[in-house]
Structure 1
């Protein structure tokens, strides 16, 4: 099989933290990755939903942002928003 062209191929040193918690009526299972490439943001991965986003303290408070990125209800997003500042 011939080589397939890649647009990018990087190996990075990362620090990853796995957290699970319940907030209100919802359970969250997240992986939080930090790397220099992320420009002071944290890659937050919602493991059960297989959704991810680069977040920081400013972006978590943008209206509708968490709801859209992680496909959450307004109540679920607010529960997550209450935990994220301490995790980032």
Structure 2
């Protein structure tokens, strides 16, 4: 793999890790706004935390330079984020 492609993949990895951390932080900021957390809200927040955690996981794998499987995970993650938008 060329250095240019490696730099792009590492940039994507950092983007995913930082985006996941920022997403978890901003989601946690909204938790105190709920006086009572019902099962539906807890399920929603659980799904949100899992998706941001998956983003961090994908970015971590990309930064470990194991590109074969990790680009698949990253592609799935990006697809989920586009659908989520």
TM-score, shorter chain, exceeding 0.5: no
Structure 1-normalised TM-score?
Answer: 0.28
More strand by share: 1
Higher helix share: 2
Determine which structure has greater relative contact order: mean sequence separation of CA pairs < 8 Å that are 6+ residues apart, divided by chain length. Answer: 2
